[in-house]
Amino acid sequence: MGFLPEQSNARQQQPDSAPNISCPHCGGDQLFVRKQPPHIALRCASCQRWIKWVSRSASNRFPQEPAVKPSPALKLVERVDTEPAKPAASTLLGCGHCGEISRLLNHLVGIERHLEIVTRALTGSLRS
């Protein structure tokens, strides 16, 4: 009365099999089962997400969870594509302030030029 017997038979005849199920999250078809007592989870191998709980009889249709391979120990190595840092010219002379001193001397020369112009203007205006 509530539903037709044909629909219930169709649902019972359609078992969960590996080729008919794909991941609803990523669409992957590589599925496996993981035992999470007291349940058995069907998971996607691509995105590692849970799909649904399956019965023990249905879990036989899917491969077991793949074994986790231990990652090898990583070693730090020196980069080959980079050149070694070159010391600055001022470091070669033994003084780290040589560049600063030359910059300040150039700046002082500019200030002297400006002072000469100001003194000429003032001395010229005083004479007139």
Confirm whether 71 is domain-assigned.
Answer: no
Measured distance CA(116)–CA(59) in Å, rounded: 96
pLDDT tens column, 88-128: 555 555 666 777 888 888 888 888 888 888 888 887 766 65
Give strand pairing partners of 43.
Answer: 32, 50
Confirm whether 108 is domain-assigned.
Answer: yes
Domain extent for 52: 14-59
In whole angstroms, how large is the CA radius of gyration of the chain? Answer: 41
pLDDT tens column, 16-26: 455 578 899 88
Region at 64 (left for phi over 0; alpha for psi -120 to 50; beta for the rest): beta
Confirm whether 38 is domain-assigned.
Answer: yes
pLDDT above 80 (res 2): no
- Look at the chain and report how many structural domains it folds into: 2
pLDDT above 90 (res 3): no
Note the pLDDT of residue 9. 45
Measured distance CA(88)–CA(72) in Å, rounded: 41
